Amino acid sequence: MALTNTINFRNVRGDLFGGVTAAIVSLPLALAFGVASGAGPVAGLYGAVCVGFFAALFGGTPTLISEPTGPMTVVMTAIVSSMTAANQESGLAMAFTVVMLAGIFQIFFGIFKLGKYITLMPYSVISGFMSGIGVILIILQIAPFVGQPNPKGGVLGIVQNLPQLLSNINPAEAALGLLTLAIIFFMPTKLKRFAPPQLVALIIGTIVSLTIFGSVDIKRIGEIPVGLPTLQMPTFTPSQITIMIVDGAMLGMLGCIDTLLTAVIADSLTRTEHKSDKELIGQGIGNLVSGLCGGLPGAGATMGTVVNIQTGASTALSGLTRAIILLVVVLWAASVTQPIPMAVLAGIALKVGIDILDWSFLKRSHKVSLKGSIIMYGVLFLTVFVDLIVAVGVGVFIANILTIDRLSELQAQEVKTISDTDDAIILNDEEKKLLDLANGRVLLFYLSGPMIFGVSKAIAREHSAMADSDVLIVDLSDVPMLGVTASLAIENAIKDASEQGRQVLIVGATGKVQRRLEKFDILRFVPQHHMFSERVEALKHAVTLVNPHATANTFGVNTVTDTY
């Protein structure tokens, strides 16, 4: 695996144009997310530079644009709030340490090749979580949108103080916020080709605030430090170290999910295939450096990635170009951003929150699946009003339990005890004839499909309902996988049959299934000559056990007793 991303100079013009366009799109979002997080606009810019540069250089998706995103900003906002509340002096440094920890977790995820497992969660959970993030981002923008400071208490504090916020609206700032939303929502498509609506809204909103509302006291970004960032050394306190590690793992996991979902979109647009584990390493390096530089955490950004690809980019050169342009802004042009109104940035971030909401699934989830809809809304509610980790944990647990229950129900239908040919739909004509010759003295215990733990109940039920017989044939021919719990249930059935004096034959136990039986020492109840590779051979041997006078002519075929 190559250390750096795919970079060549066969498409320099397209890559440079894509990088410049992506930088223009990123600038207002970086400022908005920086302000929204509580870490300041410069943190958003440094996050866009650091994560964007190193993820492009070391990642596994050439056209991916990485920067602070809505979901990552929402989590970072909560981290900054909790860390500064616990320790006013070093709380912000601790928050940036959490960003470094998130990067380290992502690097580990990539090194141990966990990329393919990161997004293995039900869509109802992902949808509810992302929509919850969108709702939080919208709620967090209400106060600055109407020209008021955010009340304490996070989302709950804002919701509780909503009547007071709405009764004290600053008309000028609310007008700027509405103007921003109007430009972003209603800007003609033809004009969007020349300039992103977020940048147009930022410029027009700032000009209006300086001219029409020039005499009004409006909250603005203010002075942004110009120059290279001050390195943030990792800062821990014994009382917060556990919380910081948990927050770092959560932030890293969210960044992985956000990035890999965007990488899939990039694949569909470019008809290529990204390298998940390499991408996670690149993202981890980017977030580690961003935390060291006092920047926000970032991930793959859908909007920037789509713009990058649509303007002609095909290699990581575009991502590097974008990061360098933003670095120039930070080093030499930061003073230009001072007069930008906070209400304009709130309008931009509010639109991002609206876009994060999974409108497509929200509209039809109740039609597709009632259970899925309940899970989705439950996760959304927990995300907004309880905790992000609790929301994902509870959602995944319930969704998996429901899935396992459904799969177990379907698999249970393939657990059958057959003593005659009335319901022996799995048998061919020869096997049916042999079972008829046994006169009900041979019982065929047939299992099919993966035997997960949820099927053990069906195995136990069939075991309890087994009719009296002289020979029990356990048919595992169509079982590709045997779980621990199912193995123990099969052991109980074989053990009881053996203790009751029945002869036990096993059919089709090969490969992993046979090794599982051997490891559990289940074969101690079954002689080697009672192990068969074919069901018909086991039935022939079973008939000779219950009818010693049976001959080859009785079967109409040659009696074969070869074992394997």
For residues 103, 105, 107 and 111, what is the CA-based torsion angle, rounded to 10 degrees? 180
- The pLDDT score that the predictor gives to residue 209 is 93
Return all residues near 256 (Cβ < 8 A) that are at least 6 apart.
106, 109, 115, 118, 280, 283, 299
Q: Among candidates 433, 454, 409, 451, which has minimal Cα distance to 550?
A: 433
Burial (CB < 10 A; 0-12, 13-18, 19+), residue 217, is exposed
Do the beta carbons of residue 56 and residue 324 sit within 8 Å? no
pLDDT at 420: 61
Q: How far apart (Å, rounded) are the C-alpha atoms in residues 51 and 72?
A: 12
Q: Distance between CA atoms of 71 and 78, rounded to whole angstroms? A: 11
Q: Find, among 313, 314, 358, the residue nearest to 134 by Cα.
A: 358
Q: Phi and psi dihedrals of 293, rounded to 5? A: -95, 5
Would you give the distance in Å from CA 481 to the centre of its chain? 26
Domain ranges of the chain: 12-402, 414-555
- Helix ranges (H only) for 187-231 are 189-192, 197-211
Residue matched to tokens 């996670």: 280
CATH of region 414-555? 3.30.750.24
| DSSP at 151 | P
Nearest CA-CA partner of 254 in 300, 308, 306, 307: 300
The pLDDT value given to residue 560: 44
Nearest to 358 by CA among 341, 373, 342: 373
The Cα–Cα gap between 253 and 246 comes to: 11
Q: Which helix (H) or strand (E) holds 174?
A: helix 171-186
Parallel/antiparallel/unpaired status of strands 416-418 and 442-448: antiparallel
HEC per residue, 413-457: CCCEEECCCCCCCCCCHHHHHHHHHCCCCEEEEEEECCECHHHHH
Mean pLDDT for back-to-back runs of 10 residues, the chain (564 residues): 67 88 90 91 94 95 94 92 89 96 96 83 85 91 90 85 90 95 92 85 93 89 80 87 94 92 88 91 97 96 89 91 92 83 92 89 80 90 86 86 79 69 65 82 85 77 74 89 87 88 90 88 88 90 80 50 42
Chain centre distance of CA 48: 22
Question: Is-contact 282 59, C-beta < 8 A?
Answer: yes
Residue type, 352: V
Measure the CA dihedral 358/362/367/371, to 10°: 90
pLDDT (0 to 100) of residue 172: 94
For residue 265, give every residue at least 6 positions away whose Cβ sits within 8 Å of its Cβ, in sequence order, or none: 302, 305, 306
Q: Which amino acid is at 546?
A: V
Nearby residues of 545 by Cβ (< 8 Å), 6 or more positions away: 470, 471, 503
Q: How does 232-256 read in b/e, with b if 16+ C-beta sit within 10 Å?
A: beebeeeebeebbeebbbbbbbbbb
CA neighbor of 327 nearest in space, from 6, 15, 27: 27
- Between the alpha carbon of residue 114 and those of residues 60, 127, 174, 284, 354, the distances in Å are 14, 21, 46, 13, 31
